[in-house]
Structure 1
Amino acid sequence: MAWLELLREAAPVMLRGAGYTVLFALAAMVGGLLIGFPVALLRMLPQRLLAWPANVYVSLMRGTPLLVQMFVLYYGLPSVGVELPPVTAGILALSLNSGAFLSESLRGAVAAVPRGQWAASYSLGLGYWPTLYHVVLPQALRVAVPAMSNTLISLIKDTSLVSVITLTELMLATKEVISTTFQPLPLYLAAAAIYWALSLLFEALQRRAEQRLNRAHRSR
């Protein structure tokens, strides 16, 4: 009963933190897509000189910890005169990191579309960009949805790292409650349950999106 009373008292603070967690994750997902899509296109270009910066970016983001990337943006950049607010630094770090992984998902999805689709479009007089937009991307999106949804679910969990740059999301909200109640176990378990519930919610949305895309594809 003591745990139930504790969780009832902590619920408003923790749920508010969970709301910020979802907002940060969605903002980072949008930012990651805005970064990842052009990066994926650059990496597919035959001109290696144009693809090289995109390859370096993806390698760097995937090869270094997200926590280090946050520290560089928030604590490192002020030493060279660039100071970012915590919200900007947190969302930017999450976006840059997820953009690298999303670019790989999108690139793999585009590569999965049979080359015959390109050849058929070219034979009808369509150029590279019209073929990509009208023929390839609608098919690639259906393939990319599971991987993109997995990235969003990972972002839900990765937002816990923004607490190290003083952003109040679920993890920092939980720590704040613990600092006044001195009851870490039930509160950390409650935070884990909220993260799990959010992940299950986005998994359900992923399945629904896949079903709608599959139905749309079969109806063509």
Structure 2
Amino acid sequence: MGGFAPIILAIPYTLMVTVGAFLIGFIIAIPLMFMRGSKFVPFRLVAQGFIDIARGIPPIVWLFFIYFGLPGIGVLLDPLEAAIIGLGIISAGYLAEIFRGGLVAVHKGQFEASHALGLGGWTMFTKVIAPQALRAMLPGLATYFIGLVKDSSIASVIGVTEMVFAASTYARRSPEGILLFFIAAIVYMALSIPMGLAARGMEARMRKAGAR
């Protein structure tokens, strides 16, 4: 397998960073979304501040701060953990705005009709609002997740053995050189393109279901 082997073996780390960061971001983004739209000004300011900071600081700075900075206060993380947490914080900022955009896209008449029918808050959200908001969110969520697959390569700077790290490490002692990065690029495309197609297919099905 030559240079293929290190890159193939690194795929699970790329996926762990991507999925782990997305899940952390997803969990944090839900309360951020509600705080961002709250009428209580302090909640709104805290949420907006978190979102601005998470998105405004470059990913490499987040990773360096978490991996090299936190040990100074006694918090020791391995490279994989630091990468997942760092990219998870960034994801939270972006996902919160995607979620909020999805809710804003739901017509106000849907809320009014739900109240007129006497639906409770939870029933209204799960049966009426969330399905429509999800249709609006899906393109943004899919695009962000695919971007996160590629952005996971930044984890190589702190030693996570994802695909770019594997390619660069093996390239230093292999005559295959730049070919390894070409292989890594093909693998990234092989991961990203099916995800994009699946997301478009899911979006089309949801639109058809919503039109019935």
- Kindly indicate whether the alpha-carbon contact (under 8 Å) linking 2:10 and 2:163 is maintained by their aligned counterparts in 1: yes
Counterpart residue number, 2:210: 217
Amino acid in the other structure paired with 1:10? G
- Kindly indicate whether the alpha-carbon contact (under 8 Å) linking 2:138 and 2:199 is maintained by their aligned counterparts in 1: yes
Counterpart residue number, 1:157: 150
Identity among equivalent pairs (%): 33
Alignment of 1:4-15 (within 5 A): 8-15=1-8
Counterpart residue number, 1:148: 141
Structure 1: distance between partners of 2:98 and 2:162: 27
Counterpart residue number, 1:63: 56
Which stretches in structure 1 are left out of the alignment for 5+ residues? Answer: 1-7
- Kindly indicate whether the alpha-carbon contact (under 8 Å) linking 2:3 and 2:176 is maintained by their aligned counterparts in 1: no
- Kindly indicate whether the alpha-carbon contact (under 8 Å) linking 2:67 and 2:77 is maintained by their aligned counterparts in 1: yes
Query: Is 1:80 matched with 2:79?
Result: no
Alignment of 1:118-133 (within 5 A): 118-133=111-126
Counterpart residue number, 1:5: none
Which stretches in structure 2 are left out of the alignment for 5+ residues? Answer: none
Residue 129 of structure 1 and its aligned partner are, at CA, apart by 4.3
- Kindly indicate whether the alpha-carbon contact (under 8 Å) linking 2:26 and 2:95 is maintained by their aligned counterparts in 1: yes
Question: 1:88-129 deviations in whole A, cap 9, x for unaligned?
Answer: 111111111111111111100100100111111122223444
Query: Is 1:49 matched with 2:42?
Result: yes
- Kindly indicate whether the alpha-carbon contact (under 8 Å) linking 2:25 and 2:88 is maintained by their aligned counterparts in 1: yes
Secondary structure at the counterpart of residue 181 of structure 1: coil
Counterpart residue number, 2:106: 113
Query: Is 1:34 matched with 2:27?
Result: yes
TM-score (norm 2): 0.94
Amino acid in the other structure paired with 1:202? M
Which segment drifts farther, 143-152 or 195-204? Answer: 195-204
Kindly report the root-mean-square deviation, in angstroms, between the aligned alpha carbons of the 2 structures.
1.5
Secondary structure at the counterpart of residue 180 of structure 1: coil
- Structure 1's consecutive aligned runs of 4 or more residues displaced over 4 angstroms after TM superposition are none
Counterpart residue number, 1:103: 96
Secondary structure at the counterpart of residue 118 of structure 2: coil
Amino acid in the other structure paired with 2:8? L
Counterpart residue number, 1:168: 161
- Kindly indicate whether the alpha-carbon contact (under 8 Å) linking 2:171 and 2:177 is maintained by their aligned counterparts in 1: yes
Query: Is 1:204 matched with 2:197?
Result: yes
TM-score (norm 1): 0.91
Structure 1: distance between partners of 2:122 and 2:50: 24
